[in-house]
Amino acid sequence: MDANLKYLEPIMEQEQFDKLACLNQPKLFQFVRAAYDICEPERIFVSTDSQSDTEYIRRMALELKEEQKLKTAGHTCHFDGPKDQGRDKANTRYLLPPDIHLGNHINSMPREEGLSEVLDIFRGSMRGKTMIVLLYCLGPLNSIFGQLACQITDSFYVAHSENLLYRQGYEEFRRVSGNDPEIFRFLHSAGRLENGVCADIDKRRVYIDLKTNTVYSVNTQYGGNTMGLKKLAMRLGISKSLREGWLTEHMFIVGVHGKNERITYITGAYPSLCGKTSTAMLEGQTIVGDDIAYLKKINGEVHAVNVECGIFGIIEDVNPHDDPAIYKALTEPGEVIFSNVLLKDGYPYWTGMGKELPKSGINYAGEWFEGKKDGKGKEIKPSHPNARFTIRLQELPNCDPRLDDPEGLKIEAMIFGGRDTDTSVPVEQAFNWAHGVITKAASLESETTAATLGQEGIREFNPMSNLDFLAASLDTYIHKYLEFVEDLSNPPLIFSVNYFLTGESGEYLTGMMDKKVWIRWVEERVHGETGALRTPTGLIPLYHDLKRLFNDALGKEYTEEQYQEQFMLRIPQLLSKISRIEEIYRKEWGIPEILFATLKEQRARLENMRKEFGDYISPLVLSQANIEGK
């Protein structure tokens, strides 16, 4: 018998031991033993793929008051503490050996020092609790995309959430029994609780050990810090994929339905609260995923899968007009976990849900009433701006039937977008792969939001919308991105989008549902059915195409005045952005020279056009010679 398994046998209940032992996974046994020794739980529960184990986890989340039952069948609510409402970037660190440095963007510390600190915090953290061993597969089962993962936690809320978000992997572990597969490992403890929330927030830590593919998360309950298979696994996936020549990306996957029942699969990378989930959920299209994708090359094409099979989505502004499919799923019977919303008489309420909210109730800050302020005098909103919902994708009427396709889905376009009030046009196509990677993806900037702790509204550099999760140096990441399609004859087209452009009055120039039009234009460009206007920064739509698409998609009139204001070339802002991006990359080492050359060429094109037309240029003044395609 394996030595670690033999050690665990007298500790565990026979049923739980048998569930673990039949997997024949020595690395897994070692992880479970190490977690037991450091955390000192009262008992160990091993979750299989069975319905009875799933139901036990749901029941315990309610019995331990980590969740509370709501009036609608299947609905529950969880509250994180007032100081535990977003990803803790400051205390999320990579643990690196002394000879490894991944760049200035990486928040890191010496590996041995970090392990010593975090394991000391973990010591005894599960006394009197159950240690839950959860087994999952990131990506479809029995697929070249599949990645085995083990989450160990003392939170039944975390276990319940991950059972909605990820594919059960117990049988997958059994299928590869004895093959010694690579496993992503996650150890989490909520730590000491007071009134159901973490009491030692000052000792909140999220440490990532790339050497052993292990993430340690302690003294936190917020999903982005605790659900290991989400953004924490994404960091391990990025490290693995760059070693092996594929991509792990912060991307949705959506099936866009075009002419003659054609479905075109598109990915999109946007920072949190930038329209990512709402784009993936567009009415009339089918959703494959809204957050994390693995991309690999299969038979000369780029294919992608959704790592997850559920949504941990921001609920603010989800309403029946703008998000009918999500809203329907959130207001009808079915398994949904709400977090950090307002509760009143057993029902959830949130900001922007399209109806009047109660004047009082219970929220993440406790008893709430309209006008209530926190200790710093700031008014507390009914629901937190980063309040969430957790739901299986298959609960949604627009879930794509190929969600679990083991071969993945052919990707024909990739979109990069962020919050940009004054520079980029609503939609634009790159000239080619390298131009898109450099000027759309690697140059992405976005204003900060409530999804991370800290000040909101600050413009931040966020290449590929992946900087927070990047487990590599920027030079390695950009090199690998550029090389990814070198052997492909028809790589995906690259586009940028910007839903947040504002006019002189400060009002948004585009409506919330205008994204339907931008995505339709992208789909038509993939198939060569729509022309475009060449500008110094890329290819933009022609007015007559947008007029047609606005009428078809939204039943709205689209005027030349709107077109001119939305697609105006803002030369001073575009040049300033190039200068900002160049300055950032000049401070890094090893950045490929093609990046600086491409930005230099774009600057020259902008300056030449400025000499001819001035600082702000209407697309209507550009000559017919600039039109490409139909």
pTM of the model: 0.95
Q: How many CB atoms lie within 10 A of CB 169?
A: 25
The answer to whether residues 226 and 330 belong to one domain is no
The answer to whether residues 429 and 522 belong to one domain is yes
* CA 270/CA 440 separation, integer angstroms: 11
For the chain, give the mean pLDDT: 95
Instruction: State the average pLDDT over residues 263-271.
Output: 97
Listed residue (153, 191, 169) closest to 31, CA to CA: 153
pLDDT tens for residues 85-122? 999 989 999 999 998 888 878 899 999 999 999 999 99
Q: Which helix (H) or strand (E) holds 379?
A: none
Domain count, the chain: 3
* pLDDT for the residue numbered 306: 98
Predicted confidence (pLDDT) at residue 78 exceeds the cutoff of 80: yes
Predicted confidence (pLDDT) at residue 630 exceeds the cutoff of 80: no
The answer to whether residues 226 and 253 belong to one domain is no
CATH number at residue 568: 3.90.228.20
Alpha-helical runs (H) found in 188-315 = 223-226, 233-244, 276-280
* CA 477/CA 324 separation, integer angstroms: 37
* pLDDT for the residue numbered 193: 94
* CA 401/CA 399 separation, integer angstroms: 6
358-365 long-range contacts, Cβ below 8 Å, gap at least 24? 358/382, 363/79, 364/79, 364/80, 364/81, 364/82, 364/85, 364/340, 365/82
The answer to whether residues 515 and 539 belong to one domain is yes
The answer to whether residues 113 and 253 belong to one domain is no
The answer to whether residues 558 and 497 belong to one domain is yes
pLDDT tens for residues 542-598? 999 999 999 999 999 999 999 999 999 999 999 999 999 999 999 999 999 999 999
Q: Is 274 tagged catalytic?
A: yes
In a domain, 336, yes or no: yes
Note down the domain range covering 483: 248-309+402-628
Predicted confidence (pLDDT) at residue 30 exceeds the cutoff of 80: yes
Listed residue (414, 441, 183) closest to 279, CA to CA: 414
The answer to whether residues 298 and 201 belong to one domain is no
pLDDT tens for residues 298-340? 999 999 999 999 999 999 999 998 888 899 999 999 999 999 9
Contact 383, 390 (CB under 8 A): no
CATH number at residue 366: 2.170.8.10
Question: What's the full length of the chain, in residues?
Answer: 630
In a domain, 390, yes or no: yes
CATH number at residue 47: 3.40.449.10
Listed residue (392, 438, 440) closest to 416, CA to CA: 440
Which of 353, 377, 395 is the C-terminal boundary of a domain? 395
Strands 184-189 and 147-153, sheet pairing: parallel
The answer to whether residues 29 and 106 belong to one domain is yes
From 77, 274, 309, 399, active-site residue: 274
The answer to whether residues 99 and 190 belong to one domain is yes
Strands 43-46 and 247-249, sheet pairing: unpaired
Listed residue (332, 293, 290) closest to 313, CA to CA: 290
In a domain, 80, yes or no: no
User: What residue has token string 């046009």?
Assistant: 425
* CA 605/CA 535 separation, integer angstroms: 9
Which of 199, 220, 244 is the C-terminal boundary of a domain? 244
In a domain, 234, yes or no: yes
Which of 350, 373, 395 is the C-terminal boundary of a domain? 395
User: What residue has token string 């400025």?
Assistant: 610
Instruction: State the average pLDDT over residues 66-82.
Output: 97
Percent helix / strand / coil, the chain, rounded to 5: 35, 25, 40
The answer to whether residues 368 and 416 belong to one domain is no
